[in-house]
Amino acid sequence: MFKILKYSFYDLMRSRWSYLYFIFYLLLGLILLFLNRDVSKAVITLLNIILVLTPLIGTLFGIIYFYNSKEFTELLLAQPIKRSHIFWGQYFGISLSLSLSLVLGLGIPFLAYGIFQSTEIFNFMTLLLIGAMLTFIFVALAFNLALIFDDKIKGFGVAILTWLSFAVIYDGIFLVLLLVFNDYPLDRFALGATLFNPIDLSRILILLKLDISALLGYTGAVFQNFFGTNLGIILTFTLLNLWIIIPVLAIKVISKHKDF
């Protein structure tokens, strides 16, 4: 598995798309720090971008890489190698390369700015951690969808719809339900509904860390009231880890029963 991981990692690190992904975040960090000297505001701006862009890039890279390397994967499947090792190796290789591009792209300008001397160092590190976790989550979801759908167009379409559902549609439906049933106590419903959206969980985690009550929104305020800031951060971080673990285990289950 580690040999396949190493191959997938170096293969993507040589790709021009990885360089473009790295350069994008590098320029973004430089521009934000140039236009705004307040690191706290820069972190909040980056949060809004990362919550939308990172899942999209993870989904696209995951689904495209899987379909493009399908012939090589079939060659590996003909060897005495466990299926889970093949797909896990590819999955971790993609996720690590994308996460590295993100961390380096944002880390270099903030290091040059002197983030280690700033009081916002832990908030910035939390932001990078969230970006990496979202990458691992959505690459895993993309791999599961690619394993389920043999047709490239159908798999690609469902993958985009999955990202769109988590990033836009989910919040829209959630807001409509809150407006329609505003006469009923919806605190527990809000907590339960948030568990099924890793993007919302990520937003709540960083806003709880920043302790910005005005930007928490309904679900974030409910989290803070129910669990408090510290317990809410621990719980949200745990749930995000489950969002990584469950799809990764699903890759093993689906690939085991997949007819190649």
Mean pLDDT of 63-76: 87
What does the pLDDT read at residue 227?
Answer: 54
Q: Is the pLDDT of residue 217 over 70?
A: no
Q: pTM, whole model, 2 decimals?
A: 0.89
Secondary structure element (H or E) that encloses residue 180, with its range: helix 170-180
Question: Considering the chain, what percentage of its residues have pLDDT values greater than 90?
Answer: 32
Q: Residue with structure tokens 């379409």?
A: 157
Spatial neighbors of 204 by CB under 8 A, at least 6 apart, are 194, 216, 219, 220, 223, 232, 236
> What is the rounded CA–CA span in Å between residue 95 and residue 91?
6
On whether the CB atoms of residues 236 and 201 are closer than 8 A, the answer is yes
Tokens describing residue 94: 């993609």
Q: Is the pLDDT of residue 12 over 70?
A: yes
Kindly report, residue by residue over 177-213, the tens digit of the pLDDT. Answer: 777 777 776 667 777 777 788 988 888 777 777 655 4
Bigger pLDDT: 147 vs 236: 147
> What is the rounded CA–CA span in Å between residue 260 and residue 70?
10
> What is the rounded CA–CA span in Å between residue 2 and residue 137?
20
